[in-house]
Chain A
Amino acid sequence: MAGELSGILEHVDRIGELDLDEVAPTSHVVDLENVLRPDEPRPSWSRDEVLEQAPDPADGAFRVPAPRDED
């Protein structure tokens, strides 16, 4: 995979040759403003429904293996 990634980056490197001084970046084509909604509680899924999706639910929470002990 290393060789494939290098090949792709080599192709991508061609944009380095373009003169892009003073060009504004586009992160998004739609003019977006922050949209705020009123902070009002709304109905949501129940905890049980959400936990049913989890690979390892326990005691009303998501269970994961313990973090490694760092000395």
Chain B
Amino acid sequence: MAELLELSVAEAARQIAAGELSREEYFEAWRGAAAGDQLNAYLWRAEDGTAAGDGPLGGIPVAVKDLFCTEGVQTTAGSRILEGHRPLYTATAVRKLGEAGAGILGKTNMDEFAMGSSNENSAYGPVLNPHDRERVPGGSSGGSAAVVAGGLAPCAIGTDTGGSIRQPASLCGIVGLKPTYGAISRYGMIAFASSLDQCGPLTRDVTDAALLLDAMQGNDPCDSTSVGIAGGVEAPTRTDLEGLRFAVPAELAHDAIEPGVRAVFEQTLKRIEQLGGEIAEVPLPHAEHGISAYYVLAPAEASSNLARYDGVRYGARAEGGDDVVEMYEETRAAGFGDEVKRRIMLGTYALSSGYYDAYYGRAQQVRTKIAEDFAAAFDRFDFVVTPTSPSVAFGLGEKTDDPLAMYMNDFFTVPMSLAGIPAISIPAGTAEPEGGGPQLPVGFQIAAPAFAEQRLLDAAYALEQAIDG
């Protein structure tokens, strides 16, 4: 049984397709593993059924972030306001996984409406980091990262608006990929910040990430921003980095990074050189303003997107409102958590008359400058690399009283989101947390130009083999 659970998704799918492994036995083994969840990582688990379809993911169970609508299956987005909500339709990304032969193993816990970097903003309690249960798994796709890292699912999908796939993947020691904006349809993904939200895989290795990405990517008439990746992606096979140029942001030297994280980062740069890659510094002068721009733009979009939760058509309604306006107010007061309220207020403020130009307008201009910085870097380089997160997993409750400190977790991931480019986090080693304690995973982030997912996965694979070897 244990051996069954150690198979990579690619290998399990191969064995199932070849008739060497029973899909029922495989799914049942994972159902058993998921049933042992002690991390509060699942909000719902499939009690029966299997992955019946044939295809590249035939027989593979997938854990799905509870932000994806699943027909007839509870979809809460980690919020009280959607408690018990059973959508009438299934998100395109999940439907396409099904068409590739996969089945839903469970729905995973998350920060409410994907707003958070620690999973402590879930209305259903925090997810615990499988490496140290006193620590956070990262967020907002913390449940999806924890089930893969904790041996409760072979693979998962999540969403990334400013780092919500890459940061938890880093803190849990797995692979997390945010594809180019537009690679995968957003239809049926509960909206947070529509110009930034993107779905992606969280997996144990780079090959599995490529498999899931290929199954999910593509144009979808239900999302006019989805264009797909021309030609799809193939399993990576590259084993060297000869001729590839990696840019390290020059500003990184001054940024606040834990010493242990910095050491792993520098060690990984050496590995890149050993594999034949070239490394040089490149200026990304506006990246440091990414957090400021992001925490204007994302809340502004969220404040508009979340206006739909009014207790009328679906979701929860608070009792006791004497008139319709009071009903809206009480429903939202009871249904939304603090972080969601905070961002709705920030967003409406940034969009309000008199402040619009100073906040929303300027943030959009900063977004242009950040995209231009990346474009200039990609004129000379194939990739931009950074640590995924400035720290290893931090303690539960450590940053909940300081929202700005929490936002700084996204420092290295937000710029790529604003530029719409793909980025992957791969496990690069471990480090001792500041203040001491057992070693914890450290992620290495690689970003590439828009729609260069194949090149990104190839390089990540070569590096992964070297790190694992």
Contact = CB atoms under 8 A, between A and B. Distances in A.
Interface of A: 1, 4-5, 7-9, 11-12, 14-16, 18, 20, 23-30, 32, 35, 37, 45, 49-50, 53-56, 62, 64-68
A25 B361 contact: yes
Q: Is the interface of A mostly helix, strand, loop or mixed?
A: loop
A25 B369 CA distance: 9
Interface stretch (B104-112, B200-208, B241-249, B311-319): B311-319
B315 A55 contact: yes
Contacts of B369: 18, 20, 23
Contact of A1 (B224, B322, B342, B402): B342
Contacts of B291: 11
Given A5-B346, A8-B295, A23-B365, 4 more contacts: A16-B362, A18-B289, A55-B311, A67-B324
B225 interface: yes
A25 B292 CA distance: 15
A27 B286 CA distance: 17
B364 A27 contact: yes
What interface size band does chain B fall in? 35 or more
A9 to B, nearest CB: 8
Interface in B154-190: 181-182
B361 A55 contact: no
- Nearest 4 A-B pairs (CB), nearest first? A29-B420, A25-B364, A55-B317, A53-B314
Classify the secondary structure of B's interface with A.
helix
A49 B88 contact: yes
A11 B341 CA distance: 19
A26 B368 contact: yes
A45 B313 CA distance: 14
B365 A20 contact: yes
B367 interface: yes
B312 A54 contact: yes
23 contacts: A1-B338, A1-B345, A4-B403, A4-B404, A8-B407, A9-B349, A11-B295, A12-B296, A15-B366, A16-B358, A25-B365, A27-B195, A30-B227, A30-B420, A53-B85, A53-B88, A54-B314, A62-B312, A64-B312, A64-B327, A65-B323, A65-B326, A65-B327
A14 B294 CA distance: 13
Interface of B: 85-86, 88, 181-182, 195, 221, 224-225, 227, 286, 289, 291-293, 295-296, 311-317, 321-327, 338, 341-342, 345-346, 349, 358-359, 361-369, 371, 402-404, 407, 418-420, 450
Given A14-B289, A15-B292, A50-B88, A67 B325 contact: yes
A45 B88 contact: yes
A7 to B, nearest CB: 5
Of B361, B365, B420, most A-chain CB atoms within 10 Å? B365
Contact of A35 (B88, B224, B362): B224
Nearest to A54: B313
Nearest to A34: B224
Contacts of B327: 64-65
A39 to B, nearest CB: 15
Given A7-B404, A45-B88, A67-B323, A12 B292 contact: yes
B323 A24 contact: no
A29 B371 contact: yes
Contacts of A45: 88
Contacts of A49: 88
Contacts of A65: 321-324, 326-327
A32 B404 CA distance: 33
Contacts of B341: 1
Contacts of A64: 312, 324, 327
A20 B366 CA distance: 8
A12 B407 CA distance: 12
Contacts of B317: 55-56
B81 to A, nearest CB: 11
Contacts of A23: 365, 368-369
B164 to A, nearest CB: 17
A16 to B, nearest CB: 7
A62 B313 CA distance: 7
A18 B366 contact: yes
A5 B289 contact: no
Contacts of A68: 322-326
B323 A26 contact: no
